[in-house]
Every structure is written in structure tokens, then in C-alpha cells.
A and B are shown apart, each in its own frame.
Chain A
Amino acid sequence: NAGVTQTPKFQVLKTGQSMTLQCAQDMNHNSMYWYRQDPGMGLRLIYYSASEGTTDKGEVPNGYNVSRLNKREFSLRLESAAPSQTSVYFCASSEPRGIDYGSYTFGSGTRLTVV
């Protein structure tokens, strides 16, 4: 099925460890996003990529880096994990043009715990 695939689904890290969350979409969308969701809160935008080759900071970028590897893939890296980064991370993509422009397709999420 077409959509957004995130890996891994679950991860436990120790404080100070690094890891990369992977995201790939097969809908030929131009724009991709990374959000985090904390209990009882909405999603907060970490970084986004409006098109291949560009990335921009969102609302909460500190402690994260991103790479738009190609049109399909957008990865999120935690260089030195902290307990405050314990969250569920969602990747999304959208097509900013055409009949269906504007709606986002989300992945199923990565549940990250930093101890």
C-alpha cells in the first residue's frame, strides 16, 4: 500500500546515545515533515523539507538534525539523546500542488524512550 513508512517502530536509548529515525514515502510527494507528540499534546513540528534539497526548522528543532536524502527519504537524527526527547515521532508527507494539495499522509510513528 502507498504511504509513509517509518523505522524503527520502537527504540530505547541511553542518555547521550545517538540514533537516526528513518522515513520513506512512495507517493512522489515533494514535502516531508517530522513531528513529535508528547502525552496530552498535539503534534509539534521539528523540521520540514519543502522539496528535495531543502530543509527548514520548525517549532522545536533543538537537539535534532535532518537529511533529505532524496525525494523519497527524510531522516531525523538525534546526536546526543536526552530524556526530554522521549516522545512519539511522526513523519508525514504532502503534495503542495494539484487537486489534493494540502493534506498530509502520516507514518505510524516511532516510540522513543530515552533513559
Chain B
Amino acid sequence: SQQGEEDPQALSIQEGENATMNCSYKTSINNLQWYRQNSGRGLVHLILIRSNEREKHSGRLRVTLDTSKKSSSLLITASRAADTASYFCAPDSWGKLQFGAGTQVVVTP
């Protein structure tokens, strides 16, 4: 399965702290994407990193990709209460995304 697997399953931090979550996958990919899901809502695309990229930034988000280790990480800096959500990685091969179970992040004020 090409499904991404996130680690940890849950993360609890305080506002202002950084949150890091990891993703592993099994086969070659075209790109890897990260999504956020607020409770009861649809998924929102955060960032896409292509297989020939190693690092990408978007606002307070930093994503790394190591294709030799088949792994990626998502760093959220200076977290806010509004960052409370589930975060999913999704490896993309042949145009189809397969999602893992996600990392549930809780940011307390």
C-alpha cells in the first residue's frame, strides 16, 4: 500500500511551541502532500512537495522530504490555538492520493 503513515498519532502542545509530525511511505512517489482537517470539516490542502525537492516553506509551515528514507516531516512553528486539527500526509503516485490515519494536534492557550 502507498498509504502514508503519520507519527505520532496525537500531539498536545502549548501556544507558541513548535509541532513536528512525521510521515513514512513505501514506494516511489511523484509528490507528497499535507492536509489539515478541522473537526467535522473537509480536508484543506496545506503544502505539496515534489519528489525532486528536499524542503519547502509556506508561512509557518516547513516540510521536508527524504526520498531515500521514504519519509517526510511537517513542522508548524509558533503554534496557535487555531492550529488544533488533524494533519494528514498523502503520498501521490500515479495521480491518486492515499491518506494515513493522521496526527491529531491539540494546541492549548
Contacts and interface: CB of A to CB of B under 8 A. Distances in A.
Contacts, number: 55
Interface residues of B, number: 24
B26 to A, nearest CB: 15
Contact of B92 (A59, A102, A108): A102
B65 to A, nearest CB: 14
B72 to A, nearest CB: 14
Contacts of B33: 102-104
Interface residues of A, number: 26
Interface in B86-104: 88, 92, 95-102
Interface of B: 3-4, 30-31, 33, 35, 40-45, 48, 50, 88, 92, 95-102
Interface of A: 4, 31, 33, 35, 40-45, 48, 50, 58-59, 90, 92, 94, 96, 102-109
